[in-house]
A and B are shown apart, each in its own frame.
Chain A
Amino acid sequence: MIARLGPPLAMALLAGPIVAGIAGTLLPAFGFLPALGHSTLSVDPFYTLLAEPGLARSLVSGLGAGLASTMLALGAVMLFVAGWIDEPVFQRLRRGLSPLLAVPHAAAAFGFAFLVAPSGFLARLVSPELTGWLAPPDVLIVNDPMGLALIAGLAVKETPFLFLMTLAALPQTPAGPSRLLAAALGYGRVAGFLHTVWPSLYRQIRLPVFAVIAFSTSVVDVAVILGPTTPPPLAVRLVQWMNDPDLAMRFKASAGALLQLGVSAFAIFAWIGLERLAGAVARALCGSGFRLRRDAALRLIGVATMAAFAATVFAGLFVLALWSVAGLWQFPDSLPDRFTLAGWSDVLPRLADPLLRSIGVGAAATAAALALAVPALMREDETGAPMGRRARLLIYLPLLVPQIAFLFGLQTAILAAGLTPSAPLLVAVHLVFVLPYVFLSLSDPWRAFDRRYEAVAFGLGRSRTRMLLTVKLPMLAPALATAAAVGFAVSIGLYLPTLLIGAGRLPTVTTEAVALAAGGNRRVIGVWALMQATLPAAGFVIAAMLSRLVYRGGPGRT
């Protein structure tokens, strides 16, 4: 009975806010916002928007960063998987990359900035010995006008996600036999894999790739930390307008949000064009019998890129930790001259409230997501029909539509409805983003569950509910715990939804950390960003302990 309500409820909760949000963006974009006394339709907001100086540059930097970073990340994953699958290093890097998925975008971006900035850790390591620098060189590495730092930061952070999605899809491809067959026909590892396995593999990770494009073309937090500033990418400017005390700016911001929707959609269409092109090239190469027998260099590039990306995130977190306890740390010293907890004791009194809110909202949204995902999957068990294409698209919808396009509308709608920002409202909006990840993370192990165990339990006289509680859910406890940890990590990392729905009144660790970006106080940033990165990690540790508890506590009990 509960199971029957699961899927429609989950769909309403996913699609409802998006539809309402886009409507709430659409109306003000055309000058309609009765709450502010505007009740006629006009295209004036678009004229004001188009008159903004530097709009074209803002558009291009967002678009370019999104496409370039996705290409880099996917290329690294593709080369690495093609060249190294079945090798020991594959398993080792797999274990190394998985935890990186849990590192929030903002923390990863801060770590990256602290690493590569002219006064960053890397420059300090080699200065003055190799460079002769006694002062940081006067070059713009972070916040560079070309957006190179933004592209690199995004690529580093998206790689673990695309890699894990690829790993999840691999078992459904004939990777082993195809590779042997291609090798027997004289193909190098990379060419053999790309010709025989990649096409079916890519088809399965296409939606996650689109999600990465939609996200990275409209990202705000990473762009604030690493992106160009004069002018910043469109999404960053939109948030500035939206937060302007002058409410009239909302019209321009809403029109801009629609433009952002168009930019992200254009990026996805451009990507589809690239897919076609790559497909044609691949077919031509395949037909010509191009075997790429000597691909050692290419394979080396693959593994080196992946290892470098992973090392960058870990090193970034290390530098964040270093700064959070650094005393005086002058350039070009490699390490601070002393360590102090002054940064922590400064921040601590202000940390408690956002920290507790982050944890509370994350836990509540995760619990709600599990409470929706489990009945939806139970329903699948009952009907015997796995989710269709359309339902799968719906699950991905909140990840495919740029957040900004419907969050503006939601904020406006909340305002128009006379609601004040509150924690339950924040939980509801987080749920929109948490639910897809929880569902996607849980659905594979749930569907892989050997249903003969259910038949055994039924045969022993157990009802459906008893079977679920005593057999299926305990056996799926590790998967449930992992899904919960994933959901919690997603909620912790959410910047834009928290900022917009909280309207500045409900700060979390994430919004506080990003707000410090402009200030450049590395000790304080170190503390906040480290806290932000610690929360999801703690979630995964607790999940691992809980699932071990179920199994270890099991034997001997009934």
Chain B
Amino acid sequence: MENMGLRLDKVTIALGDHDLLEVDCAIAPGEVLTIMGPSGSGKSTLLSFVAGSIDPAFRASGRIVCAGRDLTGLPPQERHAGILFQDALLFPHMSVGGNILFAIPAAERGRARRRSLAEAALADVGLAGFYSRDPATLSGGQKARVALARVLASHPSMLLLDEPFSRLDADLRGRTRDLVFAAVRARRLPALLVTHDEADAAAAGGPVIRISA
């Protein structure tokens, strides 16, 4: 099925009676929409609203439509919203390969087939042969790439990027960014990026929404 992109239809976020932000936009497949704003402006809350795991302290309204499917009100696990945070958040009790296997949809059957999909996903991010490694032994850049491989292995219908490059040093940041945006374009995923960093917005190349505090 053709991915028709992600639509945020008159989405508003409020904390108590303080309106934080209002967004009404469409993101085409393969496009990255960047949202910039200071901390506390509700931009990360917007991502958790799209993902379906918003903190009950916030009030949100509006509709989320992805690939023609209305996601509003669906539980988070039904939304196929892949998320990358500023930390890789690899599950420490699983191996690197276990983290990828955890993401591969259950429809892919057979031990050997799932394993080879996981190996391939790791090879795609330049980490062939890392399958049995313990996540704790990886460098920061390697962790970030495993996190990317993991989220892609779940066949998401969109990507939500919550300042995913901010913990990496400058050199690594550029390369990881290129890898993520290349994957977004290659898989024609609509992506929503939240960041402080102007360079992230420039590299994303898509439209930018700026919100004030």
Interface residues of A (CB under 8 A from B): 382-385, 450, 452-464, 466-467, 470-471, 474-475, 477, 550-551, 554-558
Q: Is the CB of A471 within 8 A of B91?
A: yes
A416 to chain B, nearest CB (A): 45
In B70-97, the 8 Å CB interface with A consists of 75-83, 85, 87, 89, 91-95, 97
Stretch at the interface among B2-10, B101-109, B197-205: B101-109
Contact flags (1/0) for B147-178 with A, using CB distance below 8 Å?
00011001010001000000000000000000
**Residues of A contacting B81 with CB < 8 Å?**
459
B84 to chain A, nearest CB (A): 9
- Given A383-B56, A384-B56, decide whether A456 and B93 contact each other with a Cβ distance below 8 A: no
How far, in whole Å, are A168 and B92 apart by their CA atoms in the complex? 24
Q: Is the CB of A555 within 8 A of B95?
A: yes
Contact of A459 among B93, B95, B154 (CB under 8 A): B154
**Residues of A contacting B151 with CB < 8 Å?**
456, 459-460
A554 to chain B, nearest CB (A): 4
A547 to chain B, nearest CB (A): 10
**Residues of B contacting A385 with CB < 8 Å?**
56
Q: Is chain A's interface secondary structure helix, strand, loop, or mixed overall?
A: helix
Q: Is the CB of B92 within 8 A of A460?
A: no
How far, in whole Å, are A457 and B147 apart by their CA atoms in the complex? 12
**Residues of A contacting B89 with CB < 8 Å?**
450, 452-453, 456
**Residues of B contacting A452 with CB < 8 Å?**
83, 85, 87, 89
Q: Is the CB of B95 within 8 A of A551?
A: no
Q: How large is the interface on B (under 10, 10 to 19, 20 to 34, 35 or more residues)?
A: 35 or more
**Residues of A contacting B52 with CB < 8 Å?**
458
A343 to chain B, nearest CB (A): 45
Does B122 reach chain A (CB closer than 8 Å)? no
How far, in whole Å, are A385 and B51 apart by their CA atoms in the complex? 20
Which B residue's beta carbon lies closest to that of A558? B101
Q: Is the CB of B132 within 8 A of A555?
A: yes
Contact of A384 among B57, B91, B98, B133 (CB under 8 A): B57
Q: Is the CB of A554 within 8 A of B83?
A: no
Q: Is the CB of A475 within 8 A of B92?
A: yes
Does B22 reach chain A (CB closer than 8 Å)? no
**Residues of B contacting A384 with CB < 8 Å?**
55-57
Which A residue's beta carbon lies closest to that of B155? A461
Does B53 reach chain A (CB closer than 8 Å)? yes
Q: Is the CB of B91 within 8 A of A453?
A: yes
Which A residue's beta carbon lies closest to that of B154? A460
A482 to chain B, nearest CB (A): 16
Which B residue's beta carbon lies closest to that of A553? B93
B131 to chain A, nearest CB (A): 9
How far, in whole Å, are A464 and B93 apart by their CA atoms in the complex? 18
How far, in whole Å, are A470 and B101 apart by their CA atoms in the complex? 12
Q: Is the CB of A461 within 8 A of B154?
A: yes
Q: Is the CB of A551 within 8 A of B92?
A: yes
**Residues of A contacting B133 with CB < 8 Å?**
555
- Given A383-B56, A460-B82, decide whether A477 and B93 contact each other with a Cβ distance below 8 A: yes
Task: Pick the most buried of A455, A460, A463, A471: most chain B CB atoms within 10 A of its CB.
Answer: A460
Contact of A462 among B77, B87, B95, B160 (CB under 8 A): B77
Q: Is the CB of B94 within 8 A of A455?
A: no
In B88-140, the 8 Å CB interface with A consists of 89, 91-95, 97-98, 101-103, 105, 132-134
How far, in whole Å, are A555 and B91 apart by their CA atoms in the complex? 10
**Residues of B contacting A467 with CB < 8 Å?**
77
Contact flags (1/0) for B40-67 with A, using CB distance below 8 Å?
0000000010011101110000000000
